[in-house]
Structure 1
Amino acid sequence: MYYWRDLADVPEGFGPAVVTIGNFDGVHRGHQSVLQQLVEAARERDAAAVVISFEPHPAQVHRPESAPELIMGLQDRVETLADTGIDGLLMMHYTLDLAAQTPEEFVRSVLVDGLRAKAVVIGHDVRFGRGNSGDLSTMQALGNQLGFDVIVIDDFGSNLQGKTAAAGERRCSSTWVREALVAGDVTTAARILGRPHRMRGEVVHGAARGRALGFPTANLAPESTGFIPADGIYAGWLIDSSQVRWPAAISVGSNPTFEGVSRQVEAHVIDRPLEEIDVFDLYGQTVIVEFVRRLRGMVAYRGPEALIDQMRLDVAQTRTVLSTEQRTYG
């Protein structure tokens, strides 16, 4: 997949292309349905399938105080989009200057001159250009004027079965993913996304309480990317920098058994003898943590002994959950 961070990076003469535009936070099943239709339309026209997206999220520029927390970081968004089979991704730096372009200026400079668009794939509710003044009829008029087709996707999304959402059904959306994660329902989030929700970050030193209790953990740095789900204990996976997947019991939150512990995400890799811990040194590595199922909420225990007993139960339950995990989500 071609990956461009600026319109100037697109090679002169690139194209023709079939293009779609969106933020694609989460790259959930609804997004995947759109991108599948994009690729099909491009293949029919002997053109490249190209996605235009934005970094940072436009809401972070226009209303940072109320912008939604992003489901995934930039690296995961790029990698997941690449897996959909598209040919190119133009990740435009979103600024007030870009937002000030009229619909015609944006379409001429980016779609026509930059990408030589044969067609544009959009939904009925598309908005673009200065003050979101451009809509579907605007795009269709510009297509007639400038020589590209406009392919309208009726629903612009799908339901949890991956089918086009019918009337009365909830279509897959980034908002729905966030709602599920706020509730700690990573199972529903995975069904909307089509894969487990993940975070990515560097492993940093913590207070070493887990090691002292016999359950050493890999602590993610505070600046890690990905939506942090509700506090609790989860069964999941830790993927190290060599792309090795390790089964893990994951803790999210501040441990209420100990005072003065700030909120954090930490993963205990299960079934590794204590004598191997020094060999399994993740400090400084950038790792991925995937959330498969929430096991319980956070509870304050009466001392370390009760906590250790519960952690043993958590590890046993994690082992059971992961041994039966479905690798497809539907």
Structure 2
Amino acid sequence: MQVWHSLAELPRDLGPSVVTIGNFDGVHRGHQAVLERMVADARARGQVAIAVTFDPHPKAVHDPAHQPELVTGVVDRLERLAQTGLDGVLVIDYTLEFASQTAEEFVRAYLVEGLRAACVVVGHDTRFGRGNAGDVDTMRTLGEQYGFAVEVIDDACAVSESGRRWSSTWVRELLEKGDLPSAAEVLGRPHRLRGRVVHGDKLGREIGFPTANIDVSAGMIPRHGVYAGWLTVVDARGSAGAEALVGERLPAAVSLGLNYTVGGTDLRVEAFIIDRTGLPLYDTEVTLDLVKWRRPMLDFGGLDALVAALTEDVEWCRSVLA
């Protein structure tokens, strides 16, 4: 899948294309169903399938004081979009200047002249252009004017077996509860955090549980507590020792929250790699795929009780991940 970040990067021979537009936060099973069907339709027509998405999220630009909590960061969003079979994704740098375009200016510049759309696939509630003035009827009118078809998504393929519509909102609700298995069911995969391994206070090493402290840069922080999960090094960032670890899934007991026992006041995300020691993880970029929540963060009153609890946590995580 090709990724473009501006109109200037689009190939001159692109098209004709089938295009859809959205934030695609989480790329959950509803997104996947719609995109996979769109890709199949594009293949049948001999056309390319392209998604248009935005970074940062529009709400973060229009109301920066109330930043939306995104399920996934842009890197993981693109990785998951690629898995649907799309030929390309145009990531638009969402700014107030971009948002000032009229609906017609956006359609003409991006869909017609840039992506050479033969068909545009939209949802029933699609809004676009300055002040969100454009809707489905606007898109149909512009399609007639500029010569592209408009298809409105049939939501039937975006409804779960329970009857509830797949949605990013549903995923957030489940993550806030710590219900990782159900969140994975909606997402079609485990929930993922991404970040860089940084130096911590080394307390874990002193008590026999050395951890990788992760400065999370993307992915929604779920309910605080202890989790079973998988840590994967995705970029060694120049570490020769870590190169051999890239791509290997490492079983981990993950502590996410405040370490009350030692008076912690800052959010920490720490991963204890099970049955592996001495791994050169500092400064590497890693992902954490969280599988199951075990317990909340607790004040054990002292290090001995904390060590006993961690020992039980690790055994539980080893069993879950086995």
Shorter-chain TM band: over 0.9
Q: 1:160 to 1:319 in 2, by over 3 A?
A: farther
| Separation in structure 1 between the aligned mates of residue 157 and residue 176 of structure 2, nearest angstrom | 22
| Separation in structure 1 between the aligned mates of residue 203 and residue 160 of structure 2, nearest angstrom | 40
Pairing 1:189-268 to 2, within 5 Å after superposition: 189-221=183-215, 223-241=216-234, 242-268=246-272
TM-score (norm 2): 0.93
| Separation in structure 2 between the aligned mates of residue 159 and residue 251 of structure 1, nearest angstrom | 34
User: What secondary structure, in the 3-state scheme, does the structure 2 residue paired with 1:313 have?
Assistant: helix
Aligned partners of 2:34 and 2:158 also within 8 Å: no
Deviation by residue 1:279-318 (Cα, 9 ceiling, x = unmatched): x120011111110000111111021111111111111111
Query: Counterpart amino acid of 2:25?
Result: D
Deviation by residue 1:121-150 (Cα, 9 ceiling, x = unmatched): 111111111111111111111112211111
User: What secondary structure, in the 3-state scheme, does the structure 2 residue paired with 1:257 have?
Assistant: helix
Deviation by residue 1:174-218 (Cα, 9 ceiling, x = unmatched): 111112112222222111110000111110010111111111110
Residue number in structure 1 paired with 2:36: 36
Structure 2: 5+ residue stretches without partners? 235-245
| Separation in structure 1 between the aligned mates of residue 268 and residue 84 of structure 2, nearest angstrom | 32
Give the length in aligned residue pairs: 311
Residue number in structure 2 paired with 1:130: 130
Q: CA deviation at 1:259?
A: 1.1
| Separation in structure 2 between the aligned mates of residue 4 and residue 300 of structure 1, nearest angstrom | 48
Aligned partners of 1:120 and 1:149 also within 8 Å: yes
Q: Is residue 311 of structure 1 aligned with residue 310 of structure 2? A: yes
Aligned partners of 1:30 and 1:156 also within 8 Å: no
TM-score (norm 1): 0.91
Query: Counterpart amino acid of 1:158?
Result: A
Q: Which runs of 4+ in 1 moved over 6 A?
A: none
Pairing 1:1-330 to 2, within 5 Å after superposition: 1-155=1-155, 158-161=158-161, 169-221=163-215, 223-241=216-234, 242-272=246-276, 276-277=277-278, 280-323=279-322
| Separation in structure 1 between the aligned mates of residue 73 and residue 111 of structure 2, nearest angstrom | 26
User: What secondary structure, in the 3-state scheme, does the structure 2 residue paired with 1:79 have?
Assistant: helix
| Separation in structure 2 between the aligned mates of residue 114 and residue 282 of structure 1, nearest angstrom | 42
Q: CA deviation at 1:37?
A: 1.8
Aligned partners of 2:35 and 2:86 also within 8 Å: yes
Q: Percent identity?
A: 53
User: What secondary structure, in the 3-state scheme, does the structure 2 residue paired with 1:238 have?
Assistant: strand
Q: CA deviation at 1:76?
A: 1.0
Aligned partners of 1:34 and 1:156 also within 8 Å: no
Q: CA deviation at 1:69?
A: 1.1
| Separation in structure 2 between the aligned mates of residue 138 and residue 9 of structure 1, nearest angstrom | 27
Q: Which has the higher helix share?
A: 2
Query: Counterpart amino acid of 2:104?
Result: E
User: What secondary structure, in the 3-state scheme, does the structure 2 residue paired with 1:289 have?
Assistant: strand
| Separation in structure 1 between the aligned mates of residue 117 and residue 39 of structure 2, nearest angstrom | 14
